[in-house]
Amino acid sequence: MTVEGISNIISKSLGFEKLKNIFLKIGYRQYSRVMSSPLWKGVFVIGGGTALAQGIGIISTPIITRLYDPSDFGLLGIYSSVLTILLVIASLRYEYAIPVPKDSSRAANILILCLMIITGVTGILCISFLLVGSRIVEMLDFQDLLPYLWLVLVGLLGAGIYQALNYWAIRQRDYPRITRTKINQSLGGSLSKILFGFLALGPLGLILGYIVSNVAGIYTFTKAIVGKDRDAFRDISVAGIKSVAQEYRSFPMYSAPATLLFAVSLQIPVFMLSFMYGLDVVGWYTLAYQMLALPVALIS
């Protein structure tokens, strides 16, 4: 008798075959239960899309780093840090409330409220930059950012609109569309940076590519709203917007300040490195941070 035959006899006598079948059945049931859950389906779809988007970013990084100087990445780091902080107050965190209401018409009123606040905040900042923008930049020792200050407004408006529309898509459980926009953002941003790099635009190319990576997907979300979600927007009114602004006022009162402090604390190293060592060091830090943040973004 062969060793394989003896092994089969022992397995059958000890019931290993039955145990294997039981575990296979349990595993299949759990798999079916997970895959039938809308939440887990969304997790897998968005997770897969995020992995692909991050892969595009990793592959394109060696090309992009050879087209730009470290100081260019340093200026991008300062720009993205300023934009990250301003994005917290762009809609006063009302976008967090979009998935909350059971009634889609009230959620639609919140979305319109977010878009109004984003436009208003961008307008106020535009006036402020025109009046005292140069003084603010000099006071913070960000003189290199002054020629690109207007792009902060463009980036803020675009990223704020995308952020609000993204929460609407989350409410609608439109996970494939969210995934598609993430891939488009990564691909569009990477290709833009490479193209502008070959055109020798310097830091302007990186900033424009960064803006593309933040706003790509607005058209996709808007198309879905105009198409299948238009009924939810039939009841938009001034009274409805005021009502949801009052009902969900806890978001700007509590969430916005806390998130703002957290965002500022994360961006302090960029500002300190710029003040103490210059743009080259900020550029190396920005590149290292981007690479280290990729696995965290994928897991989260």
In a domain? residue 31: no
CA distance 146 to 204: 12
Domains identified in the chain, total number: 1
pLDDT digits (tens, 9 = 90+) for 148-170: 999 999 999 999 999 999 999 99
In a domain? residue 67: yes
In a domain? residue 6: no
Structure tokens at 285: 């830090």
In a domain? residue 51: no
Q: What is the pTM of this model?
A: 0.84
pLDDT digits (tens, 9 = 90+) for 171-225: 998 988 999 999 999 999 999 999 999 999 999 999 999 999 999 989 999 998 8
CA dihedral 151, 59, 179, 254 (to 10 degrees): -50
Segments forming the whole domain that contains residue 291:
58-299
CA distance 44 to 103: 27
CA distance 92 to 113: 10
In a domain? residue 75: yes
In a domain? residue 4: no
In a domain? residue 268: yes
In a domain? residue 42: no
